[in-house]
Amino acid sequence: MQVEVKNIKGENTGRSIELPADIFGIEPNEHAVYLAVKQYLAHQRQGTHKTKERSEASGSTRKLHKQKGTGGSRKGDINSVVLGGSRTFGPKPHDYVVKLNKKVRQLARKSVLSAKAAAGSITVVEDFSFEAPKTKEFVGVLTNLGVKGTKSLIVLPELNENVLKSSRNVERTSVARANDLNTYQIVNTQSLVLTESAVAKIQETFA
């Protein structure tokens, strides 16, 4: 798949780049994407939730009143679940690790990249950098490329500190390294902007 290469001014350079068909041109596997996104979201959970069960709640174990003859309902001790002293089968700390085969994760990433390519949501731009962190310059690049205001992901071959700092205050925009791309990042973006070197890095990593 041939894609025009633009410069940071949004102009065509007259050059094009070939997006590898084995990464950007496969038939998307929706189930693999579902599993990869499920794994990512599960791993964001801390798993530190905890409520006290009856044996852990503080309070006397004395029966509040006798079983019969009071005209009221039967009651146990103050820690009884029905009295609000504790919780039955409450959550306990545990991890949310979801195991996924390497080939399934690779298939998921290729599937979402192919879907973005088919939808025309991928822009390839010349490699660029800033001499110093400049949010205004970064916003100018997004405007020139026509992705300002959309949820966009800028993919670089290696993290550039000046570009990263320039993007921090820009809403709905993030910067990622090609090696670190995950399925959720790609699914959760509308415009995918790849630098030329990032395309080569993706091919090297995902092939």
Taking only the tens place, the pLDDT of each residue in 17-67 is 999 999 999 999 999 999 999 999 999 999 999 999 888 888 888 998 999
Number of domain units in the chain: 2
If asked whether residues 85 and 101 sit together in one domain, one would say: no
If asked whether residues 33 and 100 sit together in one domain, one would say: yes
In the 8-state DSSP scheme, what is residue 196? Answer: H
- Average pLDDT per consecutive 10 residues, the chain (207 residues; last block may be shorter): 92 93 96 97 95 88 91 88 85 94 96 96 94 94 94 94 94 94 95 96 89
If asked whether residues 155 and 113 sit together in one domain, one would say: yes
Note the pLDDT of residue 206.
84
Q: 95, 130, 156 — which closes off a domain?
A: 95
What integer best gives the mean pLDDT of the chain? 93
If asked whether residues 13 and 65 sit together in one domain, one would say: no
- Domain of residue 154, CATH code: 3.40.1370.10
Q: 35, 60, 95 — which closes off a domain?
A: 95
Note the pLDDT of residue 18.
94
If asked whether residues 130 and 200 sit together in one domain, one would say: yes
If asked whether residues 121 and 143 sit together in one domain, one would say: yes
If asked whether residues 100 and 138 sit together in one domain, one would say: yes
Residue 17 β-bridge partners:
3
Domain that holds residue 131: 2-45+96-206
CB neighbourhood size of 109 (10 A): 22
If asked whether residues 118 and 38 sit together in one domain, one would say: yes
**Cα separations (Å) of 21 from 115, 171, 202?**
12, 32, 12
pTM listed for this prediction: 0.83
If asked whether residues 39 and 133 sit together in one domain, one would say: yes
Residue 162 and residue 137 in contact, taking contact as beta carbons nearer than 8 Å: no
If asked whether residues 32 and 69 sit together in one domain, one would say: no
If asked whether residues 35 and 137 sit together in one domain, one would say: yes
If asked whether residues 144 and 179 sit together in one domain, one would say: yes
Note the pLDDT of residue 79.
87
Instruction: Return the beta strands (E) in the chain as ranges.
Output: 2-6, 12-18, 122-125, 152-156, 173-177, 191-195
90's CB contacts (< 8 A; 6+ apart) are 50, 51, 52, 53
Q: 59, 77, 95 — which closes off a domain?
A: 95
**Cα separations (Å) of 205 from 50, 54, 180, 201?**
40, 52, 10, 6
In the 8-state DSSP scheme, what is residue 28? Answer: P
CA distance 73 to 172: 57
